[in-house]
């Protein structure tokens, strides 16, 4: 049995870091509301993404976009290790003063991107200082823009950006409960449909998925710190443990129980994963 392991820090200034190693199956299909910039350290990292199977070898960089379904597993029957930077699309948009860029090339030999990932992990898992996080996001955002498809992306207007920022802050503050559309309308001053359009343009996801993501990141941290699943579900606003498990697996590609073993450095039992033939990360 392979020794699978994940280490994840807390988000800082729109950036979160993860280091992991896996043998065989790693993650079932899932989505993030962030960009995922990965650097493969060893082995072959395979994943289904945007209708194709991709492979990233040692020192190659992979780029995953917000809200895009993907999975993950080791290629060629071996093991692989990698590092990930998760970038908040709103912070990327702010750094570029335009809508978040789209990079068509999924796996690349971009040494500049690889260097940024390496530098961000120099003191990992020690917390990244806010100024260092800002610099990392800014530099990576510039490289994403340079590698983008070249489509001119109209920035979200200043008034709309302030309005959806108020909505986002409200969703973060009220992540423990269900927020209604009329509440966001009052907070933002926009009708629910205009808010949804601007929110997706700026943040790469819907208000609902954003709030669920906030809950799940809190749940992820609680489980890694040793909280029970029932306690975690209650604290983070899910109806019960099964409700948490469904959303957690869809968001992270692993069940809460498997996440607990991975994040605490325990060997993961094959029964702790929802593996399916022909799927991975």
Alpha-carbon dihedral of residues 124, 88, 232, 230, nearest 10 degrees? -120
Cis bond upstream, residue 102 (ω within 30):
no
The domain limits of the chain are 5-146, 158-272
For 158-272, CATH gives 1.10.10.60
Q: What would the mean pLDDT of 134-163 be, rounded to a whole number?
A: 81
Q: Does domain 5-146 have CATH number 3.40.50.300?
A: no
Helical residues (DSSP H) of 38-129, grouped into ranges: 89-96, 111-120
For the chain, the average pLDDT equals 86
- Residue of 172 and 54 predicted with greater confidence: 54
Gap between the Cα atoms of 45 and 115, Å rounded = 19
Q: What would the mean pLDDT of 79-94 be, rounded to a whole number?
A: 92
The pLDDT of residue 167 is above 70: yes
Gap between the Cα atoms of 279 and 273, Å rounded = 12
| Alpha-carbon distances of 61 from 64, 73, 240, 275, rounded to whole Å | 10, 16, 38, 25
Q: Are 133 and 160 in contact (CB under 8 A)?
A: no
- Report how far Cα 32 is from the mean position of its chain's Cα atoms: 4
| Alpha-carbon distances of 140 from 13, 54, 86, 101, 147, rounded to whole Å | 14, 22, 11, 11, 11
The pLDDT of residue 266 is above 80: no
Q: What is the pLDDT of residues 218-246, one digit of tens each?
A: 998 899 888 999 999 999 989 899 999 99
| pTM score | 0.77
Q: Are strands 79-87 and 61-64 parallel, antiparallel or unpaired?
A: unpaired
């Amino acid at each position: 049995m392979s020794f699978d392991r994940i280490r994840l820090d807390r988000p800082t200034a729109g950036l979160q870091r993860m280091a992991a190693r896996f043998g065989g199956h790693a993650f079932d299909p899932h989505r993030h509301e962030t960009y995922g910039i990965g650097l493969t350290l060893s082995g072959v990292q395979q994943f289904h993404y945007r209708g194709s199977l991709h492979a990233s070898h040692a020192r190659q960089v992979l780029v995953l976009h917000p809200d895009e379904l993907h999975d993950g597993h080791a290629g060629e029957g071996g093991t692989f290790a990698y590092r990930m930077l998760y970038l908040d699309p709103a912070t990327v948009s702010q750094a570029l003063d335009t809508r978040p860029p789209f990079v068509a090339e999924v796996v690349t030999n971009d040494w500049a991107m690889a260097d940024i990932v390496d530098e961000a992990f120099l003191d990992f898992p020690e917390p990244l200082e806010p100024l260092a996080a800002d610099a990392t996001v800014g530099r990576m955002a510039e490289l994403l823009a340079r590698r983008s498809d070249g489509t001119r992306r109209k920035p979200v207007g200043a008034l709309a950006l302030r309005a959806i920022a108020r909505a986002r802050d409200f969703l973060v503050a009220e992540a423990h409960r269900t927020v209604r559309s009329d509440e966001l309308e009052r907070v933002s001053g926009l009708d629910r449909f205009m808010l949804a359009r601007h929110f997706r343009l700026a943040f790469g996801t819907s208000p609902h998925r954003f709030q669920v993501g906030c809950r799940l990141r809190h749940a992820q941290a609680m489980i890694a710190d040793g909280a029970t699943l029932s306690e975690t579900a209650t604290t983070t606003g899910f109806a019960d443990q099964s409700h948490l498990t469904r959303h957690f697996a869809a968001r992270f590609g692993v069940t809460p129980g498997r996440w607990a073993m991975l994040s605490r450095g325990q060997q993961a039992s094959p029964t702790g994963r929802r593996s399916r033939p022909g799927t991975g990360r």
